[in-house]
Every structure is written in structure tokens, then in C-alpha cells.
Amino acid sequence: MTSTHEVLRLALTQPVNHPLEPLTVEEVAAAVALVRQESNLGVDVGASFRFPCVTLKEPPKSTVLNFQVGDPIERQAFLILLDNETGTTYEAIVSLTQKRVVFWQAIPDVQPNIMPDELSECEAAVKAHPEFRAALAKRGITDLDLVVVDPWAIGNFGFEDEKGIRLSRALCYLREKPDGNFYARPIDGLVPVVNLNKMEVLRIEDMDVVPVPPEASEYADRFQPPLRTDIKPLHITQPEGPSFEVDGHHIRWQKWDLRIGFTPREGLVLHQVSYEDQGRLRPILYRASLSEMVVPYGDPRPQHYRKNAFDVGEHGVGVLANSLTLGCDCLGEIRYFDAVLTNSRGEVAITENAVCLHEEDYGILWKHTDWRLNEAQVRRSRRLVLSFIATVDNYEYGFFWYFYQDGTIQYEVKLTGILLCGTLVDFPQYGTVVAPELNALNHQHFFNLRLDFDLDGTGNSVCEVNSYAEAIGPENPQGNAFYAQSTLLTTEQEAQRIIDPFTARYWKVVNPNVTNRLGQPVGFKIVPGENVLPFAHPDSPILKRAGFMTKHLWVTPYEPDEMFAAGSYPNQHPGDEGLPQWTRANRSIENTDLVVWYTFGHHHIPRPEDFPVMPTAYSGFMLKPVGFFDANPALDVPPLVKGKEQGCCHEG
């Protein structure tokens, strides 16, 4: 075993060239070692402690913005710790530079996220419990190797006997064969509740004996009839290599310049997104990340009403990220980035190839044909893709950032995986029958993006733009006129807004202190894509806990501790945290350093075609320049040479 002294030596000898570089393997190990050896914390950080989070403590924004190459870098780690013995949660900041713990505090009345190894330990505890085995036997189930226990966060519904206990409520399934699809065969009416700190079964909720759905509904290729044979190879090659440059976690591509990070909670994080324009590197976003993600289900029956997953705050999409070594998730000339994390005991755990970087053709960038000159000018669009994929129980989520040559940024979530189903007991009012005796539950997915804008500086404002028809009159005699009206949003409560497709509503972030050559303030607009509002009642527990879902737009002044739309610790929290709480202060958001929070929702009434595995659904939004440039910034993209580029101007 490597000594603490050696771990610290290795951490301090690894070169780090920027304050936002993610923690290295050596730094993560050193942060955990320093907390364990610290004698002035008032507790012994021993075997009863878990480590839900070990990540970079990002330096103050001013430090990063003023950083020059060669400046000394103070490296710090932020840790969340859970003592299973006492149930106490702690936060710590470790200075790797000073080799000491500089902050340590107990956080009362909270539960950190549930960690992956807690899930496996919980399943083992349930399967070993005699009352659970008896309940299975009552249902004619005797082979425990075919039983799957899938722990979920229990939520908060105000029950007194659940307060202050770290709990999981598990869903149970039965595979037809050892390597089969268990999600198609729920054991409804049987729900174990587990104390995760003690790994003890508190109770077995045994409601009714309901037959397990009969069909296996397999999706893996080994179970399918003969596969299609008429798909020809499609090769994506770049003989001269990709157009991007990578230095550590610093990426340059087609005038874009940005850094990336990765946290256990948020997954992929963008830092200092800028675009080179006329020889200047112009800042757009200081930081952008997935702040929260909530999946409320719509079945009120006792088996199902607690199914409200906070996939970011209750679990963490970073710690659940796939290693993209296992499949063909990305195509082309790929550059991968590993994620340096820990398991719950603080041991370094590396997710290899967690983040995928590549570029891809995206059709026509722009085109015009002048028939009088018999001339066509056309440019192919290319986009840079940054992505990672997380498996959260039954669902897969692909989180994709796209960067385009015309200055557009796109965020897209790709939803696939397996529907969450229940046994069909009666008419499926709250779902869709997707197989015999199997009901796929109605649900929604809500995503909140935290966008820390720095458009040409930190003095930014937000406007809402709506389009209206001009009334018929002397200036509009034919009734064809319409116009766009821009309204400045000056306070937090003014900026709590929802989409309105009937006025073509969008929101525009501007820097009122910087104008383009036409005298217009430089800006970027949020272009909504698919969106919806929650159908839960305003007084429901889920809306108390995830109030951010009720508005599509929130804007706050920059505060470094305001990071997560539903608060820092949503697991089992009663709610009224995060954006609803912060914005009660109704702070000014005019010409200041501000953060835009955009919420978008995917509404899912299941189809039979979504089963047994769901074709990918897409949801997201765009950020498009509005007056940020003096003209189309993609005019300098060169045309393809006829016959030179693979697939261009060739007839088969």
C-alpha cells in the first residue's frame, strides 16, 4: 500500500497548467488520504465513512479570469463524506498545495446521493432477508439468482417514520433466463425498504400477489431472429486526422476555444467557451452544466407514486457514466477523455473513455444559386461533438454538446433504454400496454441547464422577445405586418418565464456595454426546442422538491454557491430549495454577472414501439448568436473541392 507521504509527493509532482484542469488520479488519492490522516476534525474518518463526492474545488471566478500562463496554481479538492455509523454528512475542502484540510463542516439534516456500491450492497441485503424470501416463495419464486432488486431513492412524502434515516425503496423483477431482460417482468406488490446506513431491511411492503408478466421481451441480439443482411458498411474516415487540437482538457476547433471538466454529479462540464473573431478570443460562457434532472411518473397507485427520480442530485450522472469502450457510441476519428472518480470508500475509480470528442458532417452550412451567373455557392457544415452517456437504472441518457461553424451551440439529450413498467392490474389509465399484462407508465423528463454567461465580459442582461401582429390601419392596410418586441427583464421574479410558441418567444442574453458595427448590443438567444410543463399538482410533494420545473427560464445574479436548481442535497429533502428559494430575494439581474437556468421537458406517453428497448428520443435547445458577430461568421469556410472530399460530387 502506498504511504500517505508518497501519495502527496506524487500529487504535487504532476504538472497542472490551468486552474480548471480536473483532479488527477494522484490528486484524488491525496485528497482522500489527507482527510483520513487529519487529526483535528473531531471525528476519525475511518471505515464507516463513504465518499459520495471527490472533485475539483474550482477557484474563484476572478482568479480564473485573471490567470496567466505561469501563475502559481492553488489546487484544492471538494469532498462530501457520509459517516454510516452516525448518519452525519460532512463537507470538506482540502488544499493539495498546502497538504492540509482547510474546511470541514457537518451538514445537518441532509442525505448525499446514493452511490453505485450502495446499490449492490442493498440488493444483497434484501436477497438475504428471510421475510423477502418468504414473500417470493408465496409468489412461487424460489430461484433468487433470477430475482433482481433495483434500489431507488425513496423521496420525501412527509412520513414521520422516514425522517433522518437514509433509505432506499427497491423495485423487484424476475428474469426469465439468467441473461434476460428483467425490466419486462416486474414483481409488483413487493417493495423492500432498506436503511442504507446499516444495510438493514426495515420493512417489506407486501401489498398483493400479482402475476409476473409472462413475456421475456428480450432485446439483445443473441435473442433475436436472423438480423438484417442488407446494411452496407458506412465508413467515416479523416485521412489527415481531425481538425481539433487538444492540450490536456483544453480544446480548440474552428475558432472555438473551450475547456472541459467532469464531476461525479454533473458529468461533463464546459468551461470558458469562447470564439475567435477578427483576431480576438471572445468569451461566451464561463461555465455550463446539467444542474438537475427529474423524472416524475404519473401513476398514483401505492406501488408507483414514489417514482420521482432526481437523477443528478439523488445519484449523479457523472458517477453513472458509461465507459465508451464497450460499444459503438461514437463514430469517426475519436478523442476520448477518462473520468477520475472514486468509489464510495474513497478509492480511485477511473471511468475509461467517459467523454467522447469528434467532429461530424452536418449537411449544408449555407447555399445560394445565382441562375443568372449559373453559379452555386455552397458550404458543408461541420460540427464538433462533445458527449457522454449515463445509465440510470432502466434509462440511458446521452448528453451532447454541439458546436457549429456559424457560432451556434446546441445541447441535446438523447433518451433511450427501457421503459419503466408495472403489472397490468386494470385498465391502464396511467400508462400504455406494451406487452401482455405489462403497463408502461406515463412519465416526463425535466432537465435544467445552468448557463453562466460572460458575453464579452461579465456585465450581461436578459431580454424576452415576442412577436406580434400589427393591427390593420393606415400603416398596415393589407394586414401583413408583424414585429418583434424586446422586453428587458430586470429582476429575478420578472425573469421566471415559460415558453410561448404562439408569440415565437425566445430569450436573449446581451452585453449592453458592447455593440457590433451596427450599434446593436452583442447577444446570444436561447432557442427552445421540445418543451412541456409538469402535470403534477402544485401542492404535490414532487413540485415542492423540484419547483424549478414550473418555469422554463430562471435568471439569477452569479453566486458561486448556487449550483443546483433543486438545491445541494435533494435526496429525501422535503423541498423548497434551490431556485424557488434563491429568487425570493428578487435580486437585480440587469447589467451584471448573471446565470441563466433553462429547463426543458420531454413528455412521454409510451408506445408499443418503445418496447422492449426504446428508439432514441431527442430533446434540447440551441444558443444562437444575435448581433454577436457583424455578419455571418462562416463566410470564410472554404468550399469543398469537387471530387476531392470523400462522398462529395460522386455518382454511384
Residue with cell 426546442: 529
The radius of gyration of the chain from alpha carbons, rounded to an integer in Å, stands at 26
* pLDDT at 522 (0 to 100): 98
Q: Report the C-alpha gap between 218 and 384 in whole angstroms.
A: 35
User: What DSSP letter does each residue of 386-404 carry, written as one string?
Assistant: EEEEEEETTEEEEEEEEEE
Catalytic residue among 183, 395, 397, 402: 395
The amino acid that residue 125 corresponds to is A
Condensed to tens digits (0 to 9), the pLDDT of residues 547-588 reads 999 999 999 999 999 999 999 999 999 999 999 999 999 999
Helix (H, G, I), strand (E, B) or coil at 329: coil
Cell numbers given for 580: 424557488
Mean pLDDT of successive 10-residue stretches along the chain, which has 652 residues: 61 81 97 94 93 98 96 97 97 97 97 97 98 98 97 96 96 97 97 98 95 96 94 91 97 98 98 97 98 97 94 98 85 94 97 96 97 96 98 97 98 98 84 96 98 98 98 97 98 98 98 98 98 97 98 98 98 97 98 98 98 98 98 96 57 40
Cell numbers given for 58: 474550482
C-alpha of 366 from chain center: 31
Taking each helix axis as running N to C, give the angle between helix 4-13 and helix 25-37, from 0 to 180 degrees, rounded to the nearest 10: 140
* pLDDT at 501 (0 to 100): 97
* pLDDT at 279 (0 to 100): 94
Taking each helix axis as running N to C, give the angle between helix 116-127 and helix 130-138, from 0 to 180 degrees, rounded to the nearest 10: 70
* pLDDT at 289 (0 to 100): 98
* pLDDT at 323 (0 to 100): 96
For residue 280, which of 255, 314, 250, 305 has the smallest C-alpha distance?
255
Cell numbers given for 125: 441485503
Beta strands (DSSP E) in 393-460 are: 395-404, 409-417, 421-423, 431-435, 438-441, 443-453
Phi, psi angle pair for 468, to nearest 5°: -135, 150
Q: Report the C-alpha gap between 283 and 275 in whole angstroms.
A: 7
The amino acid that residue 144 corresponds to is L
For residue 288, which of 421, 399, 188 has the smallest C-alpha distance?
399
Q: Report the C-alpha gap between 7 and 23 in whole angstroms.
A: 14
Distances (CA, A) of 1 to 6, 7, 257: 10, 10, 41
Phi, psi angle pair for 223, to nearest 5°: -100, 0
Q: Report the C-alpha gap between 428 and 437 in whole angstroms.
A: 10
Residues in CB range of 230: below 8 A, 6 or more apart: none
Cell numbers given for 9: 509527493
Q: Report the C-alpha gap between 383 and 409 in whole angstroms.
A: 10
* pLDDT at 650 (0 to 100): 40
- Find out whether 170 and 191 touch, Cβ atoms under 8 Å: yes
Q: Give the other-Cβ count within 10 Å of 197's Cβ.
A: 20
Residues in CB range of 584: below 8 A, 6 or more apart: none
For residue 41, which of 94, 84, 77 has the smallest C-alpha distance?
94
* pLDDT at 2 (0 to 100): 65
Q: Report the C-alpha gap between 605 and 421 in whole angstroms.
A: 12
Q: Give the other-Cβ count within 10 Å of 352's Cβ.
A: 12
Beta bridge partners of 377: 368
Q: Give the other-Cβ count within 10 Å of 131's Cβ.
A: 13
Residues in CB range of 453: below 8 A, 6 or more apart: 284, 285, 286, 460, 509, 524, 594, 595, 596
* pLDDT at 39 (0 to 100): 81
Residue 232's region, left for phi above 0, alpha for psi from -120 to 50, else beta, is beta
- Find out whether 445 and 390 touch, Cβ atoms under 8 Å: no
Residues in CB range of 643: below 8 A, 6 or more apart: 649, 650
Catalytic: 395?
yes
Catalytic residue among 150, 257, 299, 311: 311
Catalytic: 173?
no
- Find out whether 570 and 448 touch, Cβ atoms under 8 Å: no
